[in-house]
Structure formats: structure tokens, C-alpha cells
Structure 1
Amino acid sequence: MVASPTVPEQRLADWRLATDTTETPFSAGGLTVTARILLYEDDRLRETVRERTGLDRSWRFFLASRLELTPTLPVTGALRGLVASRASRGFADRLDDRGFTAVDRIERRSLRIGDEDARLFRYDARCRVEGVTLAVDGWLAVWAPDRGFRLGGGAYPTGIVDADVSVDESLADCLDPGTFREELFALIRATG
């Protein structure tokens, strides 16, 4: 059993742990990667949007994961690249599974997490909810503290692309992409 990643519980007080799963996202060439994934949803935002607009869904999420590699290998640049590449594709699939469309990885850069330089991926996507299409940003960081890999990421709405219903202003008032991004990065940096 893979140990749970550590997450900043105090920062997640208004969030709900939606799933705690263990899965094997990759197994080939004698290497097996097993992941323990915690997925949190922002219930406070969900309730606020539901009260103001009547729309009900999970609007933003945060995930944290600890990876276990069998056999245990030294963390090299090649291994970092392989894990980051597979994790990036897996995250895009996870966005698709959560109902996001037009998922596109649009950026790759570094993010400092403690003493590590994480590989950070940014995604652009769309989400359609009861006649409203939203633009969505997704982020995934992959780093290797203490010779083990961690993933941290999430997604949040950034704005309304179009709406067939008259909730534009009420919904737009609930969206604060700058704050959402800042909070997500704080959660990622506090994950161990």
C-alpha cells in the first residue's frame, strides 16, 4: 500500500475529500508505478454558486499524489522526464474524465517547491454546465522530494465563454481566477 501524500489540512477546511484511491497508472519494461491519489473538491464554492445561480457541480478541485516505483530506482533526469510525461498525459485524461473538453497542454515550466524544482504543466480546457460554457485552467506539478515522486494539481474556472441562460453576472461574480490560482499553488507547495 502506497503511503498517503501529506496535504495542508488547515488550508482544505472548506474542501471535501472526494476520493482516496490507489491505482497503477503505468507498468512496462519491468517498471511499475503505483499512485495514491487524494482528490479534494471545493464545497464552499459549489454551495455559493448553487445559491446564486442554481447551477450545481464541482467547480474546482485539488489533487495530491504520492508515487511508488517498483523496483525502486535512483531519481535521474531521464526518470523525472518519464514520470512527468506520463503524469502530464494522465492529468489531461483526468480532466477529460471530469467532464472538461478541449483539454490542451499549453505551457511547461519550473516551479520551486521546497528544495526541488518541479515540472509544472498548464492546461486550457472548457466545461459546459447547463447552458453555460466556462474557460478552465488546470495545473499539474511533478517533483521528487526524498527520492520519491509527488504530484500536485487541480483546475478552476477562469471565466464564462458563452451562456444560453441568464446566469452570466451571478456566476461571473463567483469566479476569482487569480485567487483560485494563488490558493492552488499554495496547496501544491504545501504537499509532501
Structure 2
Amino acid sequence: MVAPPAVPGERLSDWRQVSDTSETPFDAGGLTVTARILVYEDDRLREAVREQVGLDRSWRFFLAARLELAPSPPVTGALRGLVASRASRGFATRLADRGFDDVEQAERRSLRVGDADARLFRYDTRCRIDGVTLDVDGWLAVWVPDRAFRLAGGAYPTAVADTDRSVTDGVVDALESRLDPQAFRAELFELIRGTG
């Protein structure tokens, strides 16, 4: 069994771990990739929004994964590219599975995580609940600090994009008062950089 990734537990004290799974996302050509994936949700934000406006869903999540390849090939640029490409597609699928719509990869660049350079992907997406549509940013970093790859990322709402006529201005104002995309992004990047 693959060991779990190390996560910054002190920064996740207000988050709830919702899953710890092992899966085989890739098995072909004599190479098997096995992943251990931890997923956390921000229950504090969920409860605050539910109490204030009555909308109930997971608004922010964080995931961290450790991937092991068997047999264990040398880590080359081509292998990094293959794992990053597969991981980015898998993350887009995970966003869709979590109820996010119109998932599109919007950016790709590098990010320093510890002593390693990670490939960082940003996704534009949306979530809709009870007549309210929110813009959402998703991020995924993929790096290899040792012989095992690491993935870390998540998603958070950035703004109210649209509402049905039945949604009052008071609901929109209250929801927007809970959204702090700069703080959400900064916290997510701290969690990514704290993953090992």
C-alpha cells in the first residue's frame, strides 16, 4: 500500500478530512501508477454560508496525493510530463465529479515547492446551487521531491457569477461577504507548499 502524503496538519485544523483512498489511475505499457489520495473540506465556511444564506455545499476543498510507479523508472523530463498531464486530466475529472461545471484548464506554469519545481495548473470552473452560480478557481501542483510523485491542489469560489430571479440581493450580498478569493488562494498555496 502507498504511504499517504505528508500534509500540514496544523493548517488543516479547521478542515475535515472526508476521504483517504487508494486507486490505480494508470496501468499500461508495463507501468502501474498507484495513488494514495487525501481530501479535506472547509466545514467552517460551509456552516457559515448555510447559517447565513441557507445554501449547503462544500465550497472549498484541498487534496493531497502520493503516487508510486512500478516498476520504479528513473525520473526523467518525459516521465514528469506524462505524470503531470495525466494528473491534470484526472483533476479536471475530479472537479466535475464534485459538481463543478464548465471545467477548463486556464493556465500552466511552474511553482517552487520545497526543493522541487512543480508543474502548476489553474482551472476555471463554476458551481451552481439553488439558483446561484459561482465562479471557481481550481489549482493542481505536481512535483517529485523523491522517487514518489506528489500532487496537491483544491478549489475555492471567487465570485457570484449569476443568479436566478428567485434569489434576493440579500442572499447575494451575504454570500459575497463570505468570499475572499485572495485569502482562499493564499491558504491553498500554503497547503500545497506544506505537502510532502
- TM-score, normalised to structure 2, is 0.97
Question: Which residue of 1 is the match for residue 149 of structure 2?
Answer: 149
Q: Does 1:177 align with 2:174?
A: no
Tell me how many residue pairs correspond in the alignment. Answer: 192
C-alpha distance in 1 between matches for 2:29 and 2:113: 30
The equivalent of 1:39 in structure 2 is 39
1:141-162 C-alpha deviation (Å, 9 max, x unpaired): 0000012100000000000001
Match of 1:18 in 2: 18
Runs of 4+, deviation exceeding 3 Å: none
CA–CA separation in structure 2 for the residues paired with 1:9 and 1:131: 35
The aligned residue for residue 140 of structure 1 is: 140
Q: Encode CA deviations 1:76-117: one digit per residue, 9 max, x unaligned.
A: 000000000000000000000000010000100000001111
Aligned with 2:146: secondary structure? helix
Secondary structure of the residue aligned to 1:72 is coil
**% identity of equivalent residues:** 74
Counterpart in the other structure of 2:194: 190
Deviations 1:19-56 (A, max 9, x none): 00000011110001000000000000001111110001
* TM-score normalised by the chain length of structure 1: 0.99
In the TM superposition, 1:17-96 aligns within 5 A as 17-96=17-96
CA distance in 2, matches of 1:170, 1:162: 15
Q: What is the CA deviation profile of residues 50-86 of structure 1, one whole-angstrom value per residue up to 9, with x for unaligned ones?
A: 1110001000000000001010111100000000000
> Which whole-Å CA distance do the structure 2 matches of 1:110 and 1:101 have between them?
26
Give me the whole-angstrom Cα distance separating, in 2, the residues matched to 1:126 and 1:9.
28
Partner of 1:98: 98
Write the deviation string for residues 104-141 of structure 1: whole angstroms up to 9, x where unpaired.
00100000001111000000001001110000000000
Aligned partner of 2:159 in structure 1 is 159
Question: Structure 2: how far apart are the matches of 1:106 and 1:75?
Answer: 27
Looking at structure 2, the residues matched to 34 and 148 of structure 1 have their Cα atoms a distance apart, in angstroms, of: 10
C-alpha distance in 2 between matches for 1:180 and 1:128: 19
CA RMSD in angstroms comes to 0.5
SS in 2 for 1:146: coil
Structure 1, unpaired ranges of 5+: none
Give 1:3's aligned residue.
3
